[in-house]
Amino acid sequence: APPDWMALKDLQKNKHEAKKYGMSESLLSSIKPISVISLDGFGEFPAVEICQKLEIKDQHDKKLEEATKEIYKKEFFSGKMKESSGPYAGLSTEQAKKQLTKDLISAGLGDKMYELTGKVVCRCLTPSIVKIVTDQWFLNYSDEAWKRKARENLAQMKLYPEQVRGQFEYVLGWLNNWACTREFGLGTRLPWDEKWVIESLSDSTIYMAYYTMSHYLQQIPKEQLNDALFDYIFYGKGEKPKVKDIDKMRDEFAYWYPLDFRNSGKDLIQNHLSFSIFNHVAIFEKSLWPRGFSVNGFVTVDGEKMSKSKGNIILMRQMAKEFGPDPSRFTIISGGEYLDDANWDSELARSMKPRLQKLYDFITEHYEKGVNEHRQTDSWMESKLAEVIRDSTVAMDDAYFRTALQRGYYDLQRYVKWYLRRTANKPNKHLISRVVKAQILLLAPIIPFFCEEAWESLGEKEMASFSDWPSFDEDSIKPELDELEESMERTLEDVKTILTLIKKDKPQKIELFVAERWKFELYYELEKVFKETRNHPDVLKKVMSHEKFRPHGKEIPQMVQRIIKSGLPSKLPSHDRELSMLSDSTEFLKHEFGCEIGVKSADGSTDSKARNAIPGKPAIKVS
């Protein structure tokens, strides 16, 4: 193990410490590790390798715990015993551990000892003493046949997030006999031994099935709630019981099962959720096994842990009354996703009413308003809308609801704000209407009341929640247009900086020069060369081997040196597209700076400023 290896290394380095234990230098130097477990991805001694990988210094290094957990987990689930392990050779580590335990106990060389992982403290903070009782009832989760079925179910399940699969696999592996009863407290009496009460975690493993029919069961006399009733509802077996709403209960169960999505806290992977898998595969046929579990973090309120003692628990009815249903739903989704500890932000909830009013005003003011002209900026907005729909769809499918909200609300609003500014508040009429409709539908699962109201204001007859999810054309996503818009933003800032430096509030004319074509061709060439080398001499040699770059031999070395340091743009535009974008934007720039705007290519220009232009960053001349 990693701690053993580091302890040996420490003793080999510290002769004084070794003498305290009567260990000579020759003895210590003779101690060599013996490899007994083969593990894919590691060499002969995984424990040694993990210590080297994590740069562990000594046996007191805090990283030792991480190293030990990683190696133990991998060896337990993926390790295989080597020939050096004698009779256990060829067994998996998990199998060998169980067999060795049996062999030691059978030979009288071992016994079982129960050791707690930590102090046991009651919820009322009273220290507790664990008592082993002789007549306790257990659920035999150690049964290998049962474990195989549980693992089979887990393998075909969709987990949200996928990263918790390893935790589930680990729990299904170590889970042993589970004490499923207690002598007091709330709960159901054990039918065959009424001295005991079934403890809560063991009594809540398939209650999702109960949910499907609970509203009917409450109307049925308890004398009729027997095995025959549930055999018919769950399995369709036996004679149909003469019970009120029996067909409805059977239909409800058949409709909702198998369950697709069961959500619970991350602290319940080690018990409740894993128990649920075990009990579903024991009780139901394979076609009714769970298809998906979702796991989330803990909840805080305004940054503090939610607890009764703090008095900061917000009841659902209180939440809806104080903040409104949609602001509450928006705030909950914003708080976190999956294993993140979600935070309820009261200030965000309070701010949502004016935000939603602002969104409603945007919808009513811009739907079917604008121009018929289609410009390059419209193509960029089409691209961003398609991106948002694509990303929101993927996020919703994988239950990343906060990500879906980020894309469908915050990001889309940011893109629209820039788009309206770029078009001087004269968007393409058809496009802005598509944006409005798409945003309502993207947000409908999160803020349904607002979205239904907004949807109706568009004159739609069918409810938004019944409408098709927004679609998009993958071909309309053009990442290269992002670079052009980012270039426009940079150009705006550059012009403002120049005007500040020359202290000119009201320029007469601003001229923009797009870089010569050969510079764009150089960028394309460098993109290919950089995949092989970024060494300046080697890059220059490859570039200058092309005849077309030799006339610019004086400028290229300095340009290449700068690009090696700063890097190329993530998306390279073309000369013509950049020139077209700036030419289309002259009205926008006139509106921004209140002066005449000129856009030219630096090709053939005699103006000294034109030489300063580079792809994505036009040269600027102010007069």
pLDDT tens, 256-280?
999 999 999 898 999 999 999 999 9
Mark whether 40 and 75 lie in a shared domain: yes
Which phi and psi (to 5°) does residue 289 adopt?
-70, 150
| CA gap 192, 30 in Å, rounded | 62
Give the pLDDT of residue 314.
87
Q: Which pLDDT does position 45 carry in this prediction?
A: 92
Q: What is the distance of C-alpha 166 from the center of its chain?
A: 16
pLDDT given for residue 484 in this prediction: 85
Alpha helix segments (H runs only) across 80-142:
93-106
**Structural domain includes residue 133:** no
Q: What is the dihedral of CA 362, 363, 369, 372, to 10 degrees?
A: 100
Q: Quick one: 334 and 283 in the same domain?
A: no
What is the C-alpha to C-alpha distance for residues 152 and 145, in angstroms, rounded to an integer?
11
Residue that terminates a domain, selected from 424, 457, 477: 477
State CA 181 to chain mean position distance. Answer: 37
Cα dist. 261→9, 186, 330, 522, 600 in Å?
50, 28, 21, 53, 58
Instruction: Name the residue with higher pLDDT: 133 or 158.
Output: 158
What confidence category does residue 387 fall into, taking pLDDT thresholds of 50, 70 and 90? very high
What is the pLDDT, as a whole number, of residue 584?
86
Sheet of 292-296, strands arranged across: 158-160, 292-296, 262-265
Residue with the bigger pLDDT between 238 and 112: it is 238
Note whether 567 and 589 are same-domain residues: yes
ω into residue 290 within 30 of 0, thus cis? no
Does 145 lie in the same domain as 85? no
Q: Around Cβ 126, how many Cβ atoms within 10 Å?
A: 8
Average pLDDT (234-259) is: 94
* Residue 54 vs residues 43, 63, 70, 166, 331: alpha-carbon distances, Å: 16, 7, 11, 21, 40
Does position 114 have pLDDT exceeding 90, yes or no? no
- Name the band, by pLDDT with cuts 50, 70 and 90, for residue 148: very high
What percent of the chain clears pLDDT 90, i.e. is strictly above it? 74
CA distance linking residue 152 with residue 154, whole number of Å: 6
Quote the pLDDT of residue 118: 86
Whether residue 231 is contained in a domain is answered as no
Q: Is residue 565 part of a domain?
A: yes
Residue where one domain finishes, among candidates 65, 86, 106: 106
Backbone phi, psi, residue 353, to 5°: -60, -50
pLDDT in tens, 201-237: 998 899 899 999 999 998 899 899 999 999 999 999 9
Whether 356 and 289 share a structural domain: no
Q: Tokens at residue 127, please?
A: 């220290």
Q: Stretch 385-409: mean pLDDT, rounded?
A: 95
Instruction: List pLDDT tens digits, range 482-525.
Output: 888 888 898 999 999 999 999 998 999 999 999 999 999 999 99
Q: What's the whole-number mean pLDDT along residues 443-463?
A: 96
Mean pLDDT value across residues 464-474 = 95
Range of the domain at 57: 2-106
Tell me, what's the pLDDT at 573?
A: 76
Which residues make beta-bridge pairs with 182?
A: 197
Does residue 302 register a pLDDT over 80?
A: yes
pLDDT interval class at 454 (50, 70, 90): very high
pLDDT exceeds 90 at position 312: no
Same-domain check for residues 565 and 608: yes
97 & 172 share domain: no
Strand-pair category, 158-160 with 177-179: unpaired
* Pairing of the two strands 619-622 and 509-514: antiparallel
Overall average pLDDT of the 563-575 stretch: 86
pLDDT at 173 over 80: yes
- Strand ranges in 215-360 using DSSP code E only, listed in sequence order: 262-265, 292-296, 299-301, 304-305, 342-344
Q: Is residue 118 part of a domain?
A: no
Determine what percent of the chain is predicted with pLDDT higher than 70. Answer: 100
For residue 533, the one-letter residue type is T
For position 123, what pLDDT does the model report? 73
| Average pLDDT value over all residues in the chain | 92
Collapsing DSSP states into helix, strand and coil, what is residue 265? strand
**pLDDT of 373:** 92
pTM for this prediction: 0.69
Q: Are residues 391 and 461 in the same domain?
A: yes
Domain boundary among 451, 477, 503: 477
Residue 76 within any structural domain of the chain: yes
> Is 537 inside a domain boundary?
yes
On whether residue 583 sits in a domain, the answer given is yes
When mean pLDDT is compared across 64-73, 110-119, 149-158, 486-495, the lowest value belongs to 110-119
Residue 107 is predicted with a pLDDT of: 95
Q: Give the domain CATH number at 92.
A: 3.90.740.10
Residue 222 maps to a domain: no
Residues 92 and 171 in one domain: no
Rounded CA-CA distance 455/438 in Å is 10
For residue range 13-66, list pLDDT tens digits in order: 888 888 888 888 888 889 888 999 999 989 999 999 999 999 999 999 989 999
How many domains does the chain divide into? Answer: 4
What's the confidence (pLDDT) of residue 37? 93
Residue 467: which CATH number? 1.10.730.10
- 3-class secondary-structure state, position 218: coil
Say yes or no: 557 and 586 in one domain: yes
Confidence of residue 595 (pLDDT cuts 50, 70, 90): very high
pLDDT classification of 115: cutoffs 50, 70, 90:
confident
Which residues 6+ apart lie within 8 Å of 473 measured at CB? 386
pLDDT tops 90 at residue 159: yes
What DSSP state is assigned to residue 338?
A: T
Let me know whether 590 and 458 are in one domain.
no
Quote the pLDDT of residue 203: 87
Instruction: Note the pLDDT of residue 376.
Output: 87
Average pLDDT over residues 334-360: 92
Q: How confident is the model at residue 328 (pLDDT cuts 50, 70, 90)?
A: very high
Q: In the prediction, which pLDDT does 247 show? A: 94
Task: Determine the average pLDDT of the residues in 393-416.
Answer: 95
H or E element that contains 596: strand 596-601
How many CA atoms lie within 13 Å of 175's alpha carbon, on the beta-carbon side?
A: 29
What pLDDT score was predicted for residue 395? 95
- 240: confidence class by pLDDT, cuts 50, 70, 90: very high
CB 3 within 8 A of CB 49: no
Q: Are residues 367 and 445 in the same domain?
A: yes
Distance CA 417, CA 435 (A): 12
